[in-house]
Structure 1
C-alpha cells in the first residue's frame, strides 16, 4: 500500500469536518511547494541573466 492509499484509508475514519481540515492542509502544502518552485525558478533566471543586466551596454537603461 502506498502513502496515498494509507492517507485515504485514514481519512475515511475521520468525521467530515476533520476530512475538510486535512484537505485544507493538503492545499496549503501544495501551494507552498508551488511558491518554493517559483522562487527557485526566478532565482535561476536572475543568475543566468546577471551578466546581461550588469553589462556596460545595459547602463543606458538604469535611469529609465
Structure 2
C-alpha cells in the first residue's frame, strides 16, 4: 500500500469535520510547495536580471 492509500484509509475513518481539517492541511502543503517553487524561480532569475535591474537608467525606479 502506497502513502496516498494509507492516508486515505486513515482519513476515511475520521469524522467529517476532522477529515476536512486534513483536506485543509493538504491544501496548505500544496500552497507551501508552490510558494517554494516560485521562490526558487525568482532566485534563479535574479542573477541574470541583476545587470538589467542595476543600472543608471533603472535608478529612477528605485525607492529612496
Where in structure 2 are the equivalents of 1:1-64 lying within 5 Å?
A: 1-54=1-54, 58-64=55-61
For the residue of structure 2 that corresponds to 1:62, the secondary structure is helix
- Name the TM-score, length of structure 1 as normaliser: 0.82
Q: Distance in 2 between matches of 1:31 and 1:61?
A: 33
Aligned residue pairs, count: 61
Please state how far the C-alpha of 1:51 moved relative to its aligned partner: 3.3
RMSD: 1.4
- Name the TM-score, length of structure 2 as normaliser: 0.82
Q: Distance in 2 between matches of 1:48 and 1:11?
A: 46
Please state how far the C-alpha of 1:50 moved relative to its aligned partner: 1.8
